[in-house]
Amino acid sequence: MDKPVLKVKNLKKTYKFVPHYIPALSDVSFDIFPGEVVALLGLNGAGKTTTVKIILNFISADSGETEIFGVDSRFSISRERLSYLPEKISLQEELTPSELFEFLGRVFNYSETETKQKMEYLLEFVKLNGKENLMCGKFSKGMLQRLGLAMALFHNPEFLILDEPLTGLDPLGMRMVEDVIIEKKKEGITMLICSHELDFIERTASKIIILHEGKVLSNFAKKDISVPLKDFFFKVIAE
| Contact positions vs ligand ATP (CB under 6 A) | 15, 22, 24, 42, 44-50
Q: How far is the CB of 53 from ligand ATP (least distance, A)?
A: 8
Whole-number Å distance between alpha carbons of 186 and 35: 9
β pairing state of 63-68 and 71-72: antiparallel
CB 79 within 8 A of CB 57: yes
Please provide residue 75's backbone torsions phi and psi, each rounded to the nearest 5 degrees. Answer: -90, 130
Nearer to ligand ATP, 158 or 197 (CB): 197
Nearer to ligand ATP, 44 or 109 (CB): 44
Q: How far is the CB of 207 from ligand ATP (least distance, A)?
A: 18
Q: How far is the CB of 138 from ligand ATP (least distance, A)?
A: 28
Whole-number Å distance between alpha carbons of 174 and 169: 6
Nearer to ligand ATP, 127 or 215 (CB): 215
Whole-number Å distance between alpha carbons of 82 and 10: 22
Nearer to ligand ATP, 136 or 205 (CB): 205
Q: How far is the CB of 214 from ligand ATP (least distance, A)?
A: 7
Q: How far is the CB of 86 from ligand ATP (least distance, A)?
A: 11
Side chain identity at 168, as an amino acid letter?
G
Nearer to ligand ATP, 24 or 201 (CB): 24
